Amino acid sequence: MRIAFVSPRYGASILGGAEMGVRMLATNLAAAGNTVEVHTTTAESMATWANALPAGTSTEDGVAVHRHCTSGRRHRRFDSISAKVLSDPAAANGRLEGRWIRAQGPHSPDLLDAVSEVDSDVIVMSPYLYEPTLCGALRARVPVVIHPASHDEPPLRLPAVRAALEAADGLGFYTDAERRLTEQVIPRSRLLPQMLVGLGVDSIRPDHRDADVVAVKSSLGLGGEEFFLVLGRVDRGKGTHDLIEAFGDLHRSRRSMARLVVAGPIIERPPPTPGVKILGPVDDRSKQILLSEAVALINPSTMESFSLVLLESWMAGTPVIVTSRCEATVEHASKSGGGLVYSDLGQLGRAVDLLSTRSGMNATLAARGRKYVEDWYTWPAILDRYQPFLHQVATHARPAHQRGFTA
């Protein structure tokens, strides 16, 4: 098949989120023999959308990547515009909503023009939140599949989001929780062809030499002490600050002396906290060793549509702990039987204490999680169900003029 992807950002430097999911799908589809291209912007930072990468076409892991310039940085009045629009998103008028979409960025007329010229068998867009999907879905001349990466947040209720998703020819979801949320907010979405796609990980057991482990831990300032791990953006919106504060409370009250290690890009640095070490970004080798050496991975984020890091943790032989406030991560923990769930400081402390004993429970939870991943989320399993879905959408899609196509 000839498959085009549209994403606001793309590349090996883009870590986490729906954009990384796009890159993983694109490269694995290309490796399976499909002709794959990507239309994206030259931006790396979603905070500014400043042009950072060269415009033009390059080939990356077998994928033709077309990068288009943005018209500039995020609008300086975006927060005030956002407050007006999102106070009652379902009632937003088209003019103000259009201002919000453009002010948020990335705004790239060249990208939207390119989308309207795509002649692939199908075009896949993700995530729902930005102009390339919200406007691109209405300009594409070929069948459209949207991976919304929906969260329970005000923008999901905007009329423009409803229009984009209802214009799609198919929807791909990362979890059942995401699908249920989308159908609840946009009931007509349940009438579209859809599937649970997920994302894949390699079915390989980590094999780190003791010397490698010691060297990496030493380079990161870690000794032989046991630790729990948070992996991802250090950002208040991702729940890391609340978790760090909770570990500090556990330490100060001496209810637990467990250590927390936080690794990932620092968006907002939290204050120094007893029992907590902030590493900042780490390379892939260090990440894999941290995962395999941790007592457990903790994901405190309430705003996840999939959470690939849970799967990576199980494949590394490590159980997980997730917050009860995120349906997607609770779904993974529940379906797999590979993790514990907490809803308050007391439950977090009990989960930490339980796994700190390194009893047989740790290995049991990790083994259950690994089986879940191998059954559902290896790349061969995903491509076996995803490629027929794309072919079905491409074959049976409505003509462009019936999808709300705008030139």
Per-residue pLDDT reduced to its tens digit, 5-26: 999 999 998 876 799 999 999 9
Interval 167-183 mean pLDDT: 94
**Mean pLDDT of the region 205-223:** 78
> Do 257 and 333 belong to one domain?
yes
| pLDDT reported for residue 403 | 55
Q: Are residues 156 and 19 in the same domain?
A: yes
* pLDDT band for position 359 (cuts 50, 70, 90): confident
Token representation of residue 94: 């088209």
Residue (of 5, 67, 81) closest to 36 by Cα position: 5
More confident residue, 207 or 91: 91
Domains: count for the chain:
2
Provide the token pair at 389: 């879905």
The pLDDT of 294-319, averaged and rounded, is: 93
CATH of the domain at 154: 3.40.50.2000
Per residue in 228-275, pLDDT (tens digit) is 999 988 888 889 999 999 998 888 887 777 899 999 989 889 999 998
Six token digits for residue 259: 């250590």
Q: Of the ranges 122-131, 214-223, 263-272, 391-400, which is most confident?
A: 122-131
In a domain, 327, yes or no: yes
Alpha helix positions (H), 176-299? 176-185, 210-219, 240-252, 284-293
The verdict on residue 205 lying in a domain is: no
223 lies in the same domain as 80: no
Whether 153 and 124 share a structural domain: yes
User: Given a cut of 60, is residue 204 above it in pLDDT?
Assistant: no
Spatial CA neighbour of 143 closest among 259, 32, 2:
2
Q: Is the pLDDT of residue 205 over 80?
A: no
Residues 84 and 193 in one domain: yes
Q: Which domain holds residue 154?
A: 2-200+379-402
The answer to whether residue 52 is domain-embedded is yes
The predicted model gives 52-80 an average pLDDT of: 91
Quick one: 262 and 188 in the same domain?
no
Within 240-344, strands assigned E span 259-263, 276-280, 297-299, 320-323, 339-342
Are 195 and 251 within one domain?
Answer: no
pLDDT score at 402: 59
Give the C-alpha separation, 126 to 306, whole Å: 13
CA–CA gap between residue 202 and residue 280 (Å, rounded) = 25
Assess if residue 407 is contained within a domain: no
Query: What rounded mean pLDDT belongs to the chain?
Result: 91
pLDDT tens profile 105-125: 999 999 999 999 999 999 999
Lowest mean pLDDT among 70-74, 132-136, 314-318: 70-74
Distances from the Cα of 106 to the Cα of 190, 217, 238, angstroms? 29, 38, 21
- 240 and 386 share one domain: no
C-alpha 362 chain-centroid distance: 26
Identity of the residue numbered 182: T
Same domain? 277 vs 239:
yes
